[in-house]
Structure 1
């Protein structure tokens, strides 16, 4: 018998439980902004950690910006 994977992530389930009531359009927009800020801050934090770990300099970043770094997909 095949086991079905859970179709929703843990955060999706938590949000469904938390917001089981109706929100106004303005509340939904405010929530979207808060979530966007959360994920933006997390991305910045991870980028800063990578920067520190790899000991990059401004010159390294300038060089990366001028270099085609994508790999061709097969």
Structure 2
């Protein structure tokens, strides 16, 4: 079945994230997941997993926080 491998960042399969349910597969799944807070949980985990990479790239590029004056 296509899109049935969990992604390392989200911990869910693309099919689960897109359709909001778990698909039947040829192999039984031992994990019984709860879909009540799925979207919120996935977004939080995605942000947490991406933050170290963002910090590393900002340091590498010497990114600075620029403040634009309100009168410009």
Task: State whether TM-score is above 0.5.
Answer: no
TM range (shorter): 0.3 to 0.5
* Structure having the larger proportion of residues in helix: 1
**TM-score in terms of structure 1 length:** 0.43
Q: Which has the higher contact order (CA 8 A, sep 6+)?
A: 2
Q: Name which one, 1 or 2, has greater alpha-carbon Rg.
A: 1
